[in-house]
C-alpha cells in the first residue's frame, strides 16, 4: 500500500506539515500538478523523476547561476561568492571543478578510510559509555566535520572549534525562511580561519588538501586564496550536515522497519545506505534559474523563474521505483538522484558513502541492537534538508 496523497493547491516547503512528512504532498504534485507554481513565494516546482532528472542534466536551460537554494539571501547573481562553483554554469564551472578535483582526488578520499574509522570508533565508544545516548548529537554530528578537517589538514587542536562553526553554518531555527545572522557569522569565521590555514600551508606545505590546492593556485592566476577558502566552505556546506542526516535517517528508518534492520545488521550496509538515500534523501531539492521561456506538460514557465527540482519526490516516483513507499534494502536504487545528476553530480558522493559505510560498520560492530525514543526525537527544520537534530536511543552494546 502506498501513502495517501495530500492535496496541496499551493505547495509550501516551509509548511510544518511538509517538514514533518513531505511525501503525501509530493505524491499529489506528481499526479495532479507536475509543473506547480506557488504564487506567494513565486517558486515553480517539478516533482516527477523524468522532469527532475532532465532538469538536473540540462544546464543550458536550468542554470545554477543564482545558486541552488530558494532562501532570499543566497538566491541571486552573487550566489557563487557563498557557494563557489555549485553556483556556476559551464564553462566556468567545468574549469573550477577541474581545478579543485586535482586536489580532491578519489585516491585522497580512499586513503582517508583508516582515519575515518578511528574518528568513528572514538565517537561511538564515547557515546556508548554515556547513560543518555543520542545518535545524532553524540555520533552523527561529530564525524563528518572531523573528516572534512582531516582531509583539509586542520590541526587536531582546532577541530572542536571548527566542528562547532561547521554545525552553526547549517543551523536553522524552526520556521526560518532565510539564513539566520549567527549562521552567516559562522560562515565568515570559517572563511577567516581557512584563509589563515591557506597562508600557513603556502609557507610550509604538507600532504593535505589545502596544500594541494595552493599548488594548483600557483599555476592558475584566476584561482586565488579566496577561491580555495570558498571551496573549503562549500565542502562544509555540502558535506557536513548532509552526511550527518544520512546517518540519522539510516538509524531512524532501520528502527522503524525491524526486518530491514536485521538485514542491515546481517551485513547489508551498502543496501542500508543506498535505500536510505533514496527513501528519505537529505537534500530534498535543488533550485535552478530558468534561462528561457519553457513549455512543460502544457504549462509555460517564464524565463527567470526560480525552479525547485524536487529530488525527494523523484526518488519516490512509482513510475521508476515499484512499491515505492516501502523501505527495502534489497531494491535496485540505481535510478535515484540523491546525489544529483549531470555536471553538478555531487563531488563528495564517494566520501559520503565511505563515511556512512565506516560509521555504520563500526556501529554494528559495537552495538547488538538499539531502540529510539519516539517521543524525544527532534526533526531538523530546513526547506531543503531532511534529518534529525536529536535521536535519543538506548543501545545494547555487544
Ligand atoms: C549524503 C551526503 C550527501 C548528499 C545527499 C549530497 C548531495 C549533493 C547534491 C544533490 C549535489 C548537487 C547540487 C546540484 O545539482 O546543483 C551535491 C553537490 C556537491 N557536493 Fe554533495 N552531498 C553529500 C555529501 C557530500 C560530501 C561529503 C561532500 C564533500 C565533503 C560533498 C561535496 C559536494 C560538492 C563540492 C558539490 C558541488 C558539485 C558541483 O557543483 O559540481 N557532498 N551534493
pLDDT tens for 301-317 read 999 999 999 999 999 99
pLDDT band of 171, cuts 50, 70, 90? confident
pLDDT of 1 reads 63
Evaluate whether residue 4 is within a structural domain: no
- The whole model's pTM is what? 0.96
> Do residues 80 and 66 make contact, with C-beta atoms less than 8 angstroms apart?
no
Centre of ligand 1 from the C-alpha of residue 56, in Å: 13
Q: What is the pLDDT of residues 80-118, one digit of tens each?
A: 988 889 999 999 999 999 999 988 999 999 999 999 999
Half-sphere exposure of 43 (CA within 13 A, CB side): 24
Evaluate whether residue 10 is within a structural domain: no
Measured by CA distance, the residue closest to atom 25 of ligand 1 is 239
Cell of 203: 609557507
* Choice from 79, 238, 358 to test ligand 1 binding pocket (greatest atom count within 8 A of CB): 238
Centre of ligand 1 from the C-alpha of residue 339, in Å: 6
Atom nearest to 337 CA in ligand 1: 10
* Residue 185: domain span: 16-397
Evaluate whether residue 236 is within a structural domain: yes
- From the number of C-beta atoms within 10 Å of its C-beta (0-12, 13-18, 19+), residue 293 rates as exposed
pLDDT at 380 over 90: no
> Do residues 93 and 73 make contact, with C-beta atoms less than 8 angstroms apart?
no
Centre of ligand 1 from the C-alpha of residue 88, in Å: 14
Evaluate whether residue 230 is within a structural domain: yes
Q: Please tell me if the CB atom of residue 235 comes closer than 6 angstroms to any atom of ligand 1.
A: yes
Evaluate whether residue 5 is within a structural domain: no
pLDDT band of 136, cuts 50, 70, 90? very high
Query: What is the 3 state secondary structure string of 50-112?
Result: HHHHHHHHCCCCEECCCCCCCCCCCCCCCHHHHHHHHHCCCCHHHHHHHHHHCCCCHHHHHCC
Atom nearest to 56 CA in ligand 1: 15
Q: Please tell me if the CB atom of residue 290 comes closer than 6 angstroms to any atom of ligand 1.
A: no
- From the number of C-beta atoms within 10 Å of its C-beta (0-12, 13-18, 19+), residue 200 rates as middle
Q: Please tell me if the CB atom of residue 337 comes closer than 6 angstroms to any atom of ligand 1.
A: no
Evaluate whether residue 7 is within a structural domain: no
Evaluate whether residue 325 is within a structural domain: yes
pLDDT of 72 reads 86
Atom nearest to 86 CA in ligand 1: 40
Evaluate whether residue 11 is within a structural domain: no
**CA dist., res. 116 & res. 62, Å (int):** 36
Q: Please tell me if the CB atom of residue 242 comes closer than 6 angstroms to any atom of ligand 1.
A: yes
pLDDT of 385 reads 87
Read off the CATH number of the domain in which 354 is found: 1.10.630.10
pLDDT at 381 over 90: no
Amino acid at each position: 500500500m502506498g501513502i495517501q496523497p495530500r492535496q496541496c493547491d499551493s505547495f509550501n516547503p516551509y509548511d510544518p506539515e511538509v517538514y514533518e512528512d513531505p511525501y503525501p504532498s509530493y505524491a499529489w504534485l506528481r499526479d495532479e500538478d507536475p509543473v506547480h507554481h506557488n504564487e506567494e513565494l513565486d517558486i515553480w516546482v517539478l516533482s516527477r523523476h523524468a522532469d527532475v532528472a532532465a532538469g538536473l542534466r540540462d544546464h543550458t536551460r536550468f542554470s545554477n547561476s543564482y545558486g541552488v537554494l530558494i532562501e532570499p539571501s543566497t538566491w541571486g547573481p552573487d550566489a557563487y561568492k557563498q557557494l563557489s562553483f555549485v553556483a556556476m554554469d559551464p564553462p566556468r564551472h567545468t574549469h573550477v571543478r577541474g581545478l579543485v578535483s586535482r586536489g580532491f582526488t578519489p585516491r585522497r578520499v580512499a586513503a582517508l578510510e583508516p582515519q575515518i574509522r578511528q574518528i568513528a570508533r572514538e565517537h561511538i565508544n564515547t557515546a556508548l559509555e554515556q547513560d543518555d545516548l543520542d545518535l545524532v548529537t553524540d555520533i552523527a554530528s561529530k564525524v563528518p566535520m572531523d573528516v572534512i578537517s582531516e582531509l583539509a589538514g586542520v590541526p587536531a587542536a582546532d577541530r572542536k572549534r571548527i566542528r562547532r562553526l561547521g554545525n552553526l553554518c547549517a543551523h536553522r531555527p524552526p520556521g526560518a525562511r532565510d539564513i539566520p545572522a549567527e549562521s552567516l557569522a559562522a560562515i565568515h569565521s570559517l572563511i577567516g580561519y581557512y584563509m589563515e590555514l591557506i597562508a600557513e600551508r603556502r609557507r610550509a606545505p604538507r600532504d593535505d588538501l589545502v596544500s594541494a590546492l595552493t599548488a594548483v593556485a600557483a599555476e592558475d592566476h584566476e584561482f586565488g586564496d579566496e577561491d580555495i577558502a570558498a571551496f573549503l566552505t562549500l565542502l562544509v556546506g555540502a558535506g557536513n550536515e548532509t552526511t550527518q542526516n544520512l546517518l540519522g535517517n539510516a538509524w531512524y528508518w532501520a528502527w522503524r522497519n525491524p526486518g530491514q534492520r536485521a538485514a542491515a545488521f546481517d551485513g547489508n550496509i551498502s543496501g542500508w545506505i543506498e535505500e536510505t538515500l533514496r527513501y528519505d534523501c537529505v537534500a530534498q531539492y535543488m533550485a535552478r534559474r530558468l534561462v528561457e521561456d519553457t513549455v512543460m506538460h502544457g504549462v509555460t514557465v517564464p524565463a527567470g523563474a526560480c525552479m525547485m527540482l524536487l529530488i525527494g519526490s523523484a526518488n519516490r516516483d512509482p513510475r521508476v521505483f515499484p512499491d515505492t513507499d516501502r523501505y527495502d534494502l534489497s531494491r535496485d536504487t540505481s535510478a535515484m538522484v540523491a546525489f544529483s545528476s549531470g555536471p553538478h553530480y555531487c563531488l563528495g558522493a564517494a566520501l559520503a558513502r565511505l563515511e556512512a559505510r565506516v560509521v555504520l560498520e563500526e556501529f554494528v560492530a559495537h552495538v547488538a541492537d538499539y531502540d529510539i525514543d519516539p517521543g524525544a526525537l527532534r526533526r531538523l527544520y530546513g526547506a531543503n534538508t531532511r534529518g534529525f537534530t536529536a535521536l535519543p536511543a538506548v543501545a545494547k552494546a555487544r
